[in-house]
Amino acid sequence: MTHSRPWQSYANNPLQAKAARKLVPQLQAYITQKLPEYMMPSAFVVLESLPLTANGKVNRRVLRAFYDAFQPQFSENYMAPRTPVEQVLMKIFAEVLGLKRVGIYDNFFELGGHSLLATQLVSRVRDALGVELPLRSVFEAPTIAQISKIVESFKESNIQSQAPVLVPLSRESRRIKLSSLKEETKRR
């Protein structure tokens, strides 16, 4: 049996987005020192390799398509935060998504968010605002304006949500829990 493709093509790199979020600000800081402001690129797209034509030259059409695909879709009318809660949420959204600017009506998922980033968002909201936001609410209300209403209602009512608390586990405790599950299945 011969493999026509390299093994790396059968899987993705789950840390690639995290590396890109760290790399892009470093590139921006470096380029800011070296180039005048008018020469700063408007966006950075991290690619595994440049698309090439049959002649080995950079395929600019395909490259432009990558750029367009990776551009986050902001709402047409940018709206700045109006309340202190919206300001905190805007900062959290920007950090989690790796963006400079997020409006209160910009959709978390249209800006590149996904379920794993949503859990980070919920965790940071808990740390910053002291509210245990249900993960489900990020999917049901994906904008800062909508989430701020949920957060403010939790703060006003002083009742904790019925959502289970997200608690970070150490590797040892995860191993213990997995081993206890294996023992329970053997007993049955």
Question: What tens digit of pLDDT does each residue of 84-130 get?
Answer: 999 999 999 988 888 888 888 888 888 878 888 899 999 999 989 88
Q: How many CB atoms lie within 10 A of CB 102?
A: 26
In contact, 143 and 104? CB cutoff 8 Å: yes
Banded pLDDT at 149 (limits 50, 70, 90): very high
What confidence category does residue 45 fall into, taking pLDDT thresholds of 50, 70 and 90?
confident
Task: Output b/e per residue, 118-135; b: 16+ Cβ within 10 A.
Answer: beebbbbbeeebebbbee
Distance of alpha carbon 23 from alpha carbon 104, whole angstroms: 26
- For the chain, the residue count is 188
20 Cβ contact list (under 8 Å, min separation 6): 46, 98
- Reply yes or no on whether the pLDDT at 14 is more than 60: yes
Closest to 133 in 3D by CA, of 115, 148, 114: 148
Higher pLDDT, 93 or 175: 93
Average pLDDT over the chain, rounded to an integer: 78
Is the model more confident about 77 or about 99?
99
pLDDT of residue 2: 63
Residue 24 has a CB neighbour count (10 Å cut-off) of 15
Residue range 58-76: mean pLDDT, rounded: 69
Which residues contact residue 163 at a Cβ distance below 8 angstroms, ignoring those fewer than 6 apart?
A: 132, 133, 134, 135, 136
Residue 19, pLDDT above cutoff 80: no
With bands split at pLDDT 50, 70 and 90, how would you rate the model's confidence at 78? confident
Residue 188 has pLDDT above 80, yes or no: no
Q: Quick check: 150 pLDDT over 80?
A: yes
CA 142/CA 35 separation, integer angstroms: 37
